[in-house]
Chain A
Amino acid sequence: MADALNMSEAVLPAADSPRPRRSWRFRHLLLALNVAAVAVALLLWWAATRFGWVAPVFLPAPGDVLHAARITLASGDLLTDIAVSARRVFLGFALAAIVAVPLGIVMGVWRPAKAVMDPFVSLLRPLPSITWIPLSILWLGIGESQKIAIVFMGSWIYILLYTYESTRRIDPLLLRAARNLGASDLAIMWEVILPGSLPGIITGLKVTLAISWSCVLSAEMIAAQNGLGALIWQAKDWGNMPLVLVGMLCISLTVLVADWLMLRIERALLPWERGRRG
């Protein structure tokens, strides 16, 4: 009898099984809409410049942008600028994560640490990273470390806040269960708090990475010889609007690639979340 009922359980749990995925056909329709929307936008852009609805000074033609892209690509400048910006973002962002993730966890599990940090967080959080540019130039000059510092200053508080919040959101029942199973303070830290807050921390890192990019661009626009921000700013000075658009497009694409990389890292680090996202 027990076995018969057992079988019914194996068949029955439909009630809490995940929703069926959308049909193959529907997903392809959505993809077609993606492509169509881009095509229509490109067509409108082309028509607006081709038929003189907008003056070329305000909006360069798609062909001109393509041409500008080809020239900078061929000279190697574009790839250098991308690489330079990416390196600054990566270093500043990594430094911010290395400082802010542990600090956020400590704030989450130990109230005195939060009390010490709270006033500084409140004061520093409202400051956009550009406001650090004068001081950072004074302290660090206009070299690489200054750009990295700007990225760091613009990123670390967000990582800290996301990390702190995610340690606070751990189900207290899990802490109780772990203690009930004999976990020490150290084991609670490694086995419960760290893995339990990891999804929130990674979400925070993803959001912050985009912010880090905007930090490096503003720093490069104000004082830099190279990087995507400098490319756009110099192109503006030369009146080369197609090149400005190339720079903007490159920023979008680079950030998209960075997001995609973060998603891969997230998938690898959080295997238990895979089932939930479907």
Chain B
Amino acid sequence: MAPILSARHVTKTFAAEAGRTLTAIHDLSLDVVEGEFLCLLGASGCGKSTMLSLFAGFMQPNAGQVMLRGQPITRIEPRCGMVFQSYALFPWKTVRANVEFGLKMQRVGRTERHATAQRFIDLVKLSGFEDRYPTELSGGMQQRVTLARILAANPEVLLMDEPFAALDAMTRQVMQEELLRIHDANHKTTVFITHSIDEALILSDRIVVMSARPGRIKAILPNPLPAPRHVSVQLSPEYAALKAQVWQLVESEVLAHDETYRSKQ
């Protein structure tokens, strides 16, 4: 089956201080299969957020190609819906108006817009908060609005940039379970970035472990943990074994990152 989203020999560099360039991603190739939940796992500075920005079309690679269904992504691509870590909700719009935004941009009529938005507000369990403004909600609730907003717009791919990183541990777990529940229901292709091994193990069908400076793929692991998953899966021996395996892959990267950081000081 042809991949829905793919990167072909992608390299992305940024201008750094003193005229030097920083290679965020070097010659990376990756295929995302339709319907899968893919986690990009890596330490900070491994280029995973850059990769997601390339998929969203926020920036262009210096070399190589990023493609959606075989077509190069050359501008901001609404078919690849992004969930931002810092929510990016419109503060002047109510929860309902935020969730309706994508539909409004697609020129969906008012009644249908209303009904669809309500369905997704209910899905993320925010019924009763439709007329609140984002600043009146907690962080977890704001992230649910973001999720509902992107789901209502119905993109072909969901890109999630450490969406739960700013949440407290308990809220985070709830959000992970809800995301799994939603994914089990709609099987929307999802690329999810995280630096948490536990989060990757709970959520993903496949884990892409990235190496740092420059960002490359270190390993791609299928996640054999049985679905539907639940937090209690963390108590199983398979989980522990898998976590140890991933940690071995990641550990050397974190140390290498620390090393380069130290040598810069």
Q: Which residues of A contact B (CB under 8 A)?
A: 1-2, 5-6, 8-9, 12-13, 15-17, 171, 173-174, 176-184, 187, 191-192, 195-196, 198, 270-272, 275-276
Contacts and interface: CB of A to CB of B under 8 A. Distances in A.
Interface of B: 56, 58, 76-78, 80-82, 84, 86, 88, 90-93, 101-102, 104-106, 125, 133-136, 138-141, 149-150, 153, 168, 170-171, 173-174, 177-178, 181, 230-231
B138 A13 contact: yes
Contacts of A15: 138, 168
Given A9-B138, A181-B102, A272 B171 contact: no
A229 to B, nearest CB: 39
B160 to A, nearest CB: 12
Contact of A275 (B84, B136, B138, B171): B136
Chain A facing B: main interface SS:
helix
Contact of A195 (B90, B102, B135, B174): B90
Given A181-B81, A182-B153, 11 more contacts: A2-B178, A9-B171, A171-B88, A173-B86, A176-B76, A178-B90, A178-B105, A180-B78, A180-B81, A182-B106, A276-B135
Contacts of B105: 178, 181-184, 187
A166 to B, nearest CB: 13
Nearest to A8: B170
A272 B131 CA distance: 11
Contacts, number: 99
A171 B89 CA distance: 11
A183 B174 CA distance: 31
A196 B92 contact: yes
B18 to A, nearest CB: 25
A178 B101 contact: yes
A51 B100 CA distance: 71
A17 B101 CA distance: 26
B170 A177 contact: no
Contact of B78 (A1, A5, A181): A181
B211 to A, nearest CB: 27
10 shortest interchain CB distances as A-B pairs: A13-B138, A182-B78, A182-B105, A177-B88, A181-B102, A195-B92, A179-B76, A272-B133, A5-B174, A173-B88
